[in-house]
Amino acid sequence: MTAPLATRLERGDRVLVTRLNYLGDVVLSLPLVDALHARWPGVEIDYLSRRPGADLLQSDSRFSRVFALEDGVGKTFSLLRDLRSRHYSAVIDLYSNPRSAWLAWLSGAPVRIGGNRRGRRHLYTHPIAVPRAVRPVTDVFMRYGVPLGIASEVHAGVPSLSLTPAEVAAAGALLSPTSRRPLVGIHPGGKWSVKRWPSEKFVELVGRLQSELGAEVVVFTGPEERDATESLRPTGVRILDVLAIRALAAVVSRLDAMVACDGGVMHVSAAVGTPTIGIFGSSEPAVWFPYPAPHRAAFIDIDCRPCHRHECPLGHTRCLNDLPAAAVTRWVAESLGAAKGVR
């Protein structure tokens, strides 16, 4: 069933989609963008996010313009001038915090879609309340497209990212594998402690990948994550320095498999089509891992998970500490085998 249209879009009309924070959420919003393009061919879609999300989408042909939100009064006023000059027919705010709500309102768009939250819901013409039964966040985001003609019962597709041939070629030159062994990436960083699998587990995983699967292992690092990556240096793995986000995506696309803690890099990996094992602690894979095989969410069932906290309220973080490296190794092997079966 499709709800009444907030507006009928015509070729050349413009829509702004915004998800200000969190790289992974930007990736997870892409099925909604694809659905809007399918529903309204010829409509221009812009995107607004902070970096690195904005940087990830800069070269994506789905978007006419990509804007990066930067701190500072002057930069904010400059951004608003740019947004208002685009004369949007509609804005979809997928973050719906106070700043994003005001930016949507100040854009001048006659149709403003956002979350039905506290006082800021009054800044939207169409506040959205998503039923609790809607679980994957990709499906949650799709509900924000209902006022623009996206059927409420439609399930989101799998997020995908496209890379240019030049980006892929540069990634191949950077990797230059030394053998024909499976090439497995690892990203051990994470924003919060409940998203970081312990370093000793990653050390054990590397040893198992090398000895049991004969894999060549490449480790990715990010800003403020060197502690997590440096602990792996004694294993003899290759550690890449911090890469720009699209360069990272291109390198990951050349891997045979990727193991990453729940976060932005995990979502980028799945979106470029690399078999991805996501390490989950306090959060819920049914919500945050909408990826079919050969991808796999790695987690264990204990009574207190998922708690969705940023720090373990019980102080033991068993959801991560008790996840065995042997199981993750097995899931990597299964993903490698499944990927061979579909290629």
pLDDT (tens digit, 9 = 90+) per residue, 105-141? 999 999 999 999 989 999 999 999 999 999 999 999 9
Phi, psi values for residue 74, rounded to 5°: -60, -45
Residue 339 is predicted with a pLDDT of 60
Rg value, the chain, Cα: 21
pLDDT tens profile 71-100: 999 999 999 999 999 999 999 999 999 999
Q: Which residues pair with 45 in a beta bridge?
A: 15
Residue 214, both tokens:
């004969």
Residue 342 is predicted with a pLDDT of 41
C-alpha–C-alpha distance, residues 141 and 92, integer Å: 10
Mean pLDDT, rounded, of the chain:
92
For every one of its 343 residues, what pLDDT tens digit does the chain have, with 9 covering 90 and above?
Answer: 457 898 999 999 999 999 999 999 999 999 999 999 999 999 999 999 999 999 999 999 999 999 999 999 999 999 999 999 999 999 999 999 999 999 999 999 999 999 999 899 999 999 999 999 999 999 999 999 999 999 988 888 999 999 999 999 999 999 986 678 899 999 998 777 778 899 999 999 999 999 999 999 999 998 878 888 888 999 989 999 899 999 999 999 999 999 999 999 999 999 999 999 999 988 899 999 999 999 999 999 888 888 777 788 777 888 898 999 999 999 999 999 866 544 4
Residue 155 is predicted with a pLDDT of 85
The DSSP code for 70 is -
Domain borders along the chain are 14-148, 165-342
Query: Are 14-148 and 165-342 the same fold in CATH?
Result: yes
Residue 307 is predicted with a pLDDT of 73
Region 165-342: CATH code: 3.40.50.2000
Label residue 127 exposed, middle or buried (CB < 10 Å: 0-12, 13-18, 19+): middle
Locate tokens 């740019």: which residue?
Answer: 82
Residue 116, both tokens:
């039905």
Where do runs of H (alpha helix) occur along 112-223? Answer: 137-143, 165-175, 199-212
Domain 14-148 falls under CATH 3.40.718.10: no
- Please report the beta strands in 194-246, taking only residues with DSSP state E, as ranges in sequence order: 216-219, 238-239
